Amino acid sequence: MLYIDAALLNAIEWLCRRFQVVTGRTNVWLAFQLTNLSIIVYFIWAALLFWNRDTGTRVAVGIFCGVLLYVLTQTIFKVPIETYENSAYRRVANGLRNPRRVRDALLRVSFLTLSMLLFYPILVLAITFRVPVAILSYGLVVLTTVVLYLLACDPLPPCAGKLREWVGGARRAAEPAAAPAECGVASGNRGRAPRSNAA
């Protein structure tokens, strides 16, 4: 399974680098956005699971979700994404590989195995027994697996991205062109006669 993990990690790193060349956004940015998505999915999952319960349970789940959101704002969301990206850039500039490639290998393999093993049972639960919460639960497992792989990748050096350059070029082309200045005449001196240098 470690060979599958290494091959999958190399393929995802290649895709992340293509994504960075096109958009200028790193795998760290992408992992951060998917983390935000998984948090939203988690809150939707909790709301659907406990919606029909008694009031006390709903209040307890609401308080738990509120405390969890507060803790996230004080930990993960407190540090700007640029700080994480700059750390990754410095590591790559020093010629070091991402330590998560080795350190998180067993965790990635565990989540990858769980994602593969749960696919069919979740499909049966969702289609046969009409359990929509099962799809959200499986979605959280898959999102966590993808985030683990994204965080183990190494980014390219900083670049603007072809998409940004293309959009910026299209925006500059759409702006009205400024009137060309006369050759050798500053904008403040228009209409005045040039001074003669009498020596």
pLDDT tens digits for range 105-127: 999 999 999 999 999 999 998 88
Beta carbons of 9 and 152 less than 8 angstroms apart: yes
* pLDDT tens, position by position, 164-185: 888 877 777 877 655 444 444 4
The three-point CA angle 148-84-111 to 5° equals 5
Please state, as a whole number, how many other Cβ atoms lie within 10 Å of the Cβ of residue 167.
11
Let me know if residue 99 belongs to a domain.
yes
Per-residue tokens: 63: 């308080």
Q: Residue 80's domain spans which residues? A: 2-155
Let me know if residue 78 belongs to a domain.
yes
* pTM of the full structure: 0.76
Torsion 108-113-118-119 (CA) sign: positive
C-alpha span between 49 and 58 (Å, rounded)? 10
3-state secondary structure (DSSP) of residue 45? helix
The DSSP call for residue 86 is: H
Let me know if residue 129 belongs to a domain.
yes
Beta carbons of 66 and 25 less than 8 angstroms apart: no
**Total domains present in the chain:** 1
pLDDT recorded at residue 195: 52
Let me know if residue 169 belongs to a domain.
no
